[in-house]
Structures are given as structure tokens and as C-alpha cells.
Amino acid sequence: MDPERLLDGLDPAQRRAVTATTHPLAILAGAGSGKTRVLTRRIAHRCLTGDADARHVLAVTFTRKAAAELDTRLRTFGLRDLPAAGTFHALAYAQLRTAWAGAGTTPPVLLDRKGRLLARILGNTTRVRPGELATEIEWARARLVAPDGYVDAVHRAGRLTAVDPERIADWYRRYEIDKRKRGIIDFDDLLARAADQIERDPSFAAAQRWRFRHLFVDEYQDVNPLQDRLLRAWLGDRRDLCVVGDANQAIYGWNGADAGFLLDFERHHPGAEVVELRDSYRSTPQVLAVAAAVLAAGRGPARPLVAHRGDGPLPVVVGYQSDGDEANGIARAVREHHGPGRPWSAQAVLVRTNAQGTVIEAAFRRAAIPYRVRGAHQFLDDPDVRDLLKRFGRLSEPLSTTLADLDASVARQRAELLGSAWDDDLDDDAPPPLARELPDTAAGRRLGAFEQVVRLGNELLVLEPAARTDALPGWLRTVLLDDGPGAADAVTIASFHAAKGLEWDVVHLAGVEAGYVPISHARSPEAKREEERLFYVAVTRASDVLRCSWAKTRTFGSDPVDRAPSPFLGWVRGTVTDLGRAEAAAPVPERAIDRSRAALAEPPEVEPDPAVLTAAVAASLRAWRAEQGRRAGVRPTVVLSDRALDAVARNRPRSSAALAEQPGLGPLARERHGARLLAIVAEHLGDDAGPPASTSVPAGR
């Protein structure tokens, strides 16, 4: 590729950031201003002009998803070699494994969850939970604070702790001793040991620095002192470092990160150049106006971003009676926004705490909306994956061979599974099995999980070509720390934190209530500022549609608890009002449920006109059918004939028996799509619990 082409579609400031020859370089800019875009193009541009060698590039990110994204973007530039991209943890782990292999030492066991060990240390003499203690230890490790310095560091940082810091320091000390006795290491040890090794062993340092000569870091505002120490170890006395970030999106202060590394970049790296970008390309002016209001309230930057996108709908605030109602309301809104040109994957539901996702997941299952949850543990806890990894853990063969075998076997099983499932379609246009999605059955899910293992294993091989099979389990635990594998087309459910750096057309912020937003334990002024930045991050994930919701009661355990709207919603409402656009300007589907002015309101309970209902069901069915067709690579009418679609829309069957009476709908289509069709109908009839499983209800109402 001609390197000049990499400058196409960039504004002058972005071009400058891509082509600047000064090292080190920091690129500072607000959300959606193209920082990540500029970073990848800069890497590609330098490689294509011969200024850097792709084999010696190291791109560091904070989540595996971000690393995968970088990797994907870099692949599109036609570079001969692929630069290494990974998280600090993954890169440190790969480095240590190389060193252990070189020295012939057995790698220590990697502790992926501290909980059990900490629970033993805490015993039952305190109300402090293992998770809270883990946070404190991780904070201290990130700040390079040993147990002896903990109390001092807590005082200096003005950090509020659940109990006397002396006690925490004691537990922290015991934890470190326990780990050493058992010969295990945790994630923080990975980073510390990787840095130690370079600092202590000049010949190893030389080899590592020879391998990685050009360093790039995305989301640099979230770097912590431990990570910065490792980064500096990698850099040595060289200057080839480029970082990008936005101090207004610093959201890991609670975990020890320090945006000062970005803000004071020139002080930390004398002679560095700083380039600022001012234009925003992701979000509509309406979304940006809300974002600016959040920052203004939180004393963010004086200069707001310049919007490049055209106008979009006004952000919406909706209140519900209960968390269940809210989840169902979000499911309805998701369906309304889904349609041709807007796949499920263009939408996300973002929550402040992971636990809030459960009620939303349940609503999505009832409404037959495909979704995926960011979070690795689901994947690693899958029994098939666990068995596979156990087997891998016992082998010490070249990973490249084992992985190639697994890949071939997975491909064969995929062809068998899809071949048998699609044989009867008699459609000549059907794409080969490789391009199709796996069915949502036990066998399909198992195969999908194995495909993820192959993909992630290949990521390890890029970094460590000589890796052996037993390296894979530890590698997966390391890289999956932040987020899990995703389905092809599904709505994302993620925490505000996990959404960093990502974007969706439609963003639903759920549970925007006092206690969550800001989180109740954010008591210090710094913690409160960080909650405001976190809300800014959440808001700026939306390109077009921003929908905030909250519930008047929420059930914790078995008790409903009264809730109040988040104080931050005032900024959203205020902005919506200031934008001078009355409700009438909002698109019709939103207008029906927009209650931005009312303190609390429910979606209206109206008995719809049957003709309107038929048209609405038909529209949903068509959108679903088009999506199915697109995914399978067949015409929509192959999925479901027009005749069958019209019948289902008109008669609105509520049971399998009623479905069987619909003309044009054969047994095969019923078997394959029946549940989905009933769910779509039920959604329109307001049957939130989904279609009855066995009772037969006459077609229509």
C-alpha cells in the first residue's frame, strides 16, 4: 500500500500526529477524536515508509478487546509482517515465558483470582471482604507500594479504607508471604517480575529491546506507576515511544492509575512533542453536548470538541417503576432500534456494576435478543474449555502444531455440523460452512468456544512463536482478564469501565440511579471526580442514540429497595432542554417512551389497533429475517417465505400448536425458527415472560 493513502480521510492535526518525526510523541485529545485511528495509522505509516520495522513494533493496550481491535485494524494496511499488540499483562507474561524457557526454569503457577487465598487470610474476624482487600493490594502494587509503605501511602493519597490501614498492611504482608511459600505469582507479579528482569539482566534487556524498538501505547491516561515502570524498562534509554490518551477519560485512579503520566508527558520525557486533536468524529452534536455538560460540571477541559457529525436524535431519559420494567423497556428499545443497516452489534447496554447486567440478560433472553457479556470467567468456566485446557496443561509439545491440529479438527466438525444442518435447504447460493454462524446448541457452543481457543492461541504464537502447549492455559487466563470472546452479531452488555475505547450507534445506559452513578462508595472528592469522568466515558460511547434509564425500585436479594434518579441525569436533562428542541423533535418511537421531563413515568399501556399491530409484527419479522439471511448469506425469503411471514404477523400465534397452523410454515422452518417467531410475536403482545411453552392459545386475539 502507498503510505500516502494512510493520510486520506484525516484532518490536518491528525495528519501531523501520524507523520510527526519527533520522539517521544504524545497525542492528546477528547473522546472520539480519532486517537486510536491515528495510532494505528502512525504505526502503519512508519512501517510502510521504512521508518520502522513491523517485526519490531510493540503496541500496548489495556484490554484484550482493544489489542484485538488494534490487530484487526493493522491487518487492513497490508503490512508484510504483523506488529505485536497486547495488554501489559499479556506482553509481560510472554516475556517471562521466554526468559523461563531460556533459563530452563519451571514457570510458577499463575494465580488468576486472589479471592480464595485472601479469604483464608481474612478468616471470619472481620467484615472486610476478600474483594475489598484485593482492591487495596492491587492499588498498592500499582503504586509500587510494599506492605511496609502502605499506611503512609494511604495517608498521602487521602485514600479512604474500610478499616484501619495498619490491619490492611498486615493482611497484605501475609498475602505476599503466602504466595512466596506456595510458589505462586499473581498478575501484578507478572509486571513487576518482567520489569525486574530487564533492570537486573543487561543481556536479557538487550535482547528484549532489540526485539521491540518502536513502542506505542493507547489509553495512556490509565497507566499506573507499575506499568510505567515496565514501559520504561522496555524503552531503556531510547526515545521511540508514542502514547495517546485523554485525561478526561482517566477512570482507573481507584486502581492506582495516574493521568499525570500523560498530562506531564513532557516533564517525564524531556524533548517530547505533544500534538492535540480538536475535532470529534464519533458522536452527534447532541451526544457531544451532553458530554460537554458532564465535563463542565466535573471541571473538565475549557475547550469543547468540535462536532463533525450531523444532527441526531435528542438523548432520552426514561424512568421505570422497577428494575424488571426497566430491563423489559430496554429490550423493547433495542428491538425498535434494530433493523436493516443496524445489526444487534451496533447497540450496547452499559451498566455501572457488573451485577446489574443479570436482569438485563434475562429480559434479552425472554425477548430473544442475542447478547454477549464482557467478562472472561464465563468462557474459562465452561466445562468443555476447562477440560481442553487441562489437557493442554499436561502436554509440552510445540503449541503451533497442537493448535494447527485443533484448528483442523474444529474446521472438520464445523463442516459436519453445518453441513448436516443446512443440507436440506437446497440452496445453491449458500456460502461454505466456514462463513456461517454456528447453531446455538451444545455442540455449536462447544465448537465456538474451541474456535476462540484457537484464535487466542494464535495471538500467543505471534508474540512467542516457540510457545509450548502448556503455556496456553496461563496465557488465556492472562489475556482474558479484561474481556471475553464475542458472538458475531449480538448486543453488548458491559460495564462503563469495559466500554472504554469502544463505540456503538445506540447506547443504553441502564440503572442511572443515585448509588450507582456515582457509585455509593465514591466518597472522596477525587473518587467523585472519577465517577464524573466515568459517566463521560459512558456517554461518549454513543455515535447516534443515547438513552439513559433508571428504576424507582430495584430488588437486591429478595427485597425491593427505593431508588432515586442519578444526580448526573440533571446534566442530561438540562442539556436536552437547552438544546432548545422540544420532545416533538425526537423520533417517533422514542417520543412514545421519552419521559425526560417527568420525574417518573411508565410506557403507556394502550390497546393497539390490530392493523397497526400486524404491521409492527411484520416489520419486526422482516428485520429479523433480513438479518438471518445476511448472516447465512442467503436471500431473506429462503429463511422464511413472504406467505409465512404475513400469516404469522396477521394471526400472531402464541404457542407452538398455533404456530403449526400457519400456512407456508413447514416443520423444518418451525423447528429452526419457531422459538424466535413466537418470541417476536410475544414481544409485540406485551407478553414479557415470553410465549407459553405448552398451552395452546387460538391464533390471533
| Region from 33-41, 287-295, 410-418, 463-471 binding ligand ATP, contact rule CB under 6 A | 33-41
Q: Which of 3, 26, 28, 33 binds ligand ATP (CB under 6 A)?
A: 33
Instruction: Note whether 36 binds ligand ATP by CB under 6 A.
Output: yes
Q: Which does 37 bind (CB under 5 to 8 A by kind): ligand ATP, Mg ion, none?
A: ligand ATP
Which strands sit side by side in the sheet containing 57-61, from one edge to the other?
Answer: 84-87, 57-61, 214-217, 241-245, 25-29, 273-277
Instruction: Note whether 543 binds Mg ion by CB under 5 A.
Output: no
Q: Which of 357, 448, 501, 511 binds ligand ATP (CB under 6 A)?
A: 501
Contact present, 294 and 573 (Cβ < 8 Å): no
Q: Which of 9, 102, 465, 663 binds ligand ATP (CB under 6 A)?
A: 9
Alpha-carbon distance of 99 to 194, in angstroms, equals 9
Alpha-carbon distance of 374 to 63, in angstroms, equals 11
Phi, psi of 580 (to 5 degrees): 70, 20
| Region from 10-18, 385-393, 395-403, 512-520 binding ligand ATP, contact rule CB under 6 A | 10-18
Contact present, 554 and 561 (Cβ < 8 Å): yes
Instruction: Note whether 32 binds Mg ion by CB under 5 A.
Output: no
Q: Give one DSSP letter per residue of 121-187, joined into a string.
A: HHTTS-S--HHHHHHHHHHHHHTT--GGGHHHHHHHHT---SS-HHHHHHHHHHHHHHHHHHTEE-H
Residue 245 CB, nearest distance to Mg ion (Å)?
Answer: 9
In the bound state, the residue with its beta carbon closest to ligand ATP is 34
In this complex, which beta carbon is closest to Mg ion, that of residue 501 or of residue 565? Answer: 501
Cβ contacts of residue 543 below 8 Å, gap of 6+? 282, 283, 284, 287, 309, 312, 503, 504, 505
| Region from 146-154, 348-356, 493-501, 657-665 binding Mg ion, contact rule CB under 5 A | 493-501
Q: Which of 14, 33, 36, 61 binds Mg ion (CB under 5 A)?
A: 36
Q: Give one DSSP letter per residue of 405-463, joined into a string.
A: HHHHHHHHHHHHHHHHHHGGG--TTPPPGGGSPPPSSHHHHHHHHHHHHHHHHHHHHHH
Q: Which does 212 bind (CB under 5 to 8 A by kind): Mg ion, ligand ATP, none?
A: none
Residue 499 CB, nearest distance to ligand ATP (Å)?
Answer: 9
Q: Which of 17, 18, 31, 272 binds ligand ATP (CB under 6 A)?
A: 31
Look at residues 547, 495, 28 and name the one whose alpha carbon lies nearest to residue 249. Answer: 28
**Which residues, listed in sequence order, are joined to residue 350 by a DSSP beta bridge?**
494, 509
Task: Supply angle C-alpha 203, 207, 212, rounded to 5.
Answer: 145
Instruction: Note whether 11 binds ligand ATP by CB under 6 A.
Output: yes
Residue 34 CB, nearest distance to ligand ATP (Å)?
Answer: 3
Residue 40 CB, nearest distance to Mg ion (Å)?
Answer: 10
Count of residues of this chain found to bind Mg ion when the rule CB under 5 A is applied: 3
Instruction: Note whether 37 binds ligand ATP by CB under 6 A.
Output: yes
Residue 102 CB, nearest distance to ligand ATP (Å)?
Answer: 37
In this complex, which beta carbon is closest to ligand ATP, that of residue 27 or of residue 681? Answer: 27
The residue behind cell 505476599 is 176
Residue 621 CB, nearest distance to Mg ion (Å)?
Answer: 37
In this complex, which beta carbon is closest to Mg ion, that of residue 36 or of residue 283? Answer: 36
In this complex, which beta carbon is closest to Mg ion, that of residue 29 or of residue 681? Answer: 29
Contact present, 66 and 219 (Cβ < 8 Å): yes
In this complex, which beta carbon is closest to ligand ATP, that of residue 284 or of residue 656? Answer: 284
| Region from 30-38, 55-63, 235-243, 650-658 binding ligand ATP, contact rule CB under 6 A | 30-38
Contact present, 136 and 161 (Cβ < 8 Å): yes
**Alpha-carbon dihedral angle through residues 514, 516, 522, 525, given to the nearest 10 degrees:** -50
Phi, psi of 519 (to 5 degrees): -65, 140
**Which residues, listed in sequence order, are joined to residue 307 by a DSSP beta bridge?**
280
Amino acid at 465: P
| Region from 7-15, 328-336, 374-382, 453-461 binding ligand ATP, contact rule CB under 6 A | 7-15
Query: How many C-beta neighbours within 10 Å does residue 482 have?
Result: 22
Nearest-10 crossing angle of helices 150-157, 165-182: 130
Instruction: Note whether 158 binds ligand ATP by CB under 6 A.
Output: no
In this complex, which beta carbon is closest to ligand ATP, that of residue 501 or of residue 691? Answer: 501
Cβ contacts of residue 432 below 8 Å, gap of 6+? none
Alpha-carbon distance of 478 to 499, in angstroms, equals 19
Q: Which does 231 bind (CB under 5 to 8 A by kind): ligand ATP, Mg ion, none?
A: none
Q: Which of 3, 6, 25, 32 binds ligand ATP (CB under 6 A)?
A: 32
Alpha-carbon distance of 48 to 37, in angstroms, equals 16
| Region from 27-35, 133-141, 404-412, 573-581 binding Mg ion, contact rule CB under 5 A | 27-35
Q: Which three cell numbers stand for residue 102?
A: 531460556
* ω into 667 cis (within 30 of 0): no
Residue 36 CB, nearest distance to Mg ion (Å)?
Answer: 3
Q: Which three cell numbers stand for residue 137?
A: 493490594
Q: Which of 136, 222, 228, 246 binds ligand ATP (CB under 6 A)?
A: 246
Alpha-carbon distance of 168 to 186, in angstroms, equals 18
Count of residues of this chain found to bind ligand ATP when the rule CB under 6 A is applied: 18
Instruction: Note whether 10 binds ligand ATP by CB under 6 A.
Output: yes
Q: Which three cell numbers stand for residue 164?
A: 484501619
Find the binding residues for ligand ATP in span 248-287 (CB under 6 A): 249, 281-282
In the bound state, the residue with its beta carbon closest to Mg ion is 36
Residue 331 CB, nearest distance to ligand ATP (Å)?
Answer: 26
Instruction: Note whether 30 binds Mg ion by CB under 5 A.
Output: no
Residue 70 CB, nearest distance to ligand ATP (Å)?
Answer: 11
Instruction: Note whether 328 binds ligand ATP by CB under 6 A.
Output: no
- Count of alpha carbons within 13 angstroms of residue 392, beta-carbon side: 28
Instruction: Note whether 35 binds ligand ATP by CB under 6 A.
Output: yes
Instruction: Note whether 147 binds ligand ATP by CB under 6 A.
Output: no
Instruction: Note whether 14 binds ligand ATP by CB under 6 A.
Output: yes
In the chain, helix, strand, coil percent, each to 5?
55, 15, 35
Contact present, 248 and 536 (Cβ < 8 Å): yes
| Region from 29-37, 115-123, 483-491, 548-556 binding Mg ion, contact rule CB under 5 A | 29-37
Q: Which of 501, 565, 636, 691 binds Mg ion (CB under 5 A)?
A: 501
Amino acid at 309: R
Beta strands 542-556 and 559-562 are antiparallel
Q: Which of 13, 29, 57, 334 binds ligand ATP (CB under 6 A)?
A: 29
Residue 46 CB, nearest distance to ligand ATP (Å)?
Answer: 17
Contact present, 84 and 462 (Cβ < 8 Å): yes
How many residues does the structure list for the chain?
701
Residue 244 CB, nearest distance to ligand ATP (Å)?
Answer: 7
SS3 category, 11: coil
Residues lying near Mg ion in the complex (CB under 5 A): 35-36, 501
Residues lying near ligand ATP in the complex (CB under 6 A): 9-11, 14, 29, 31-37, 246, 249, 281-282, 501, 503
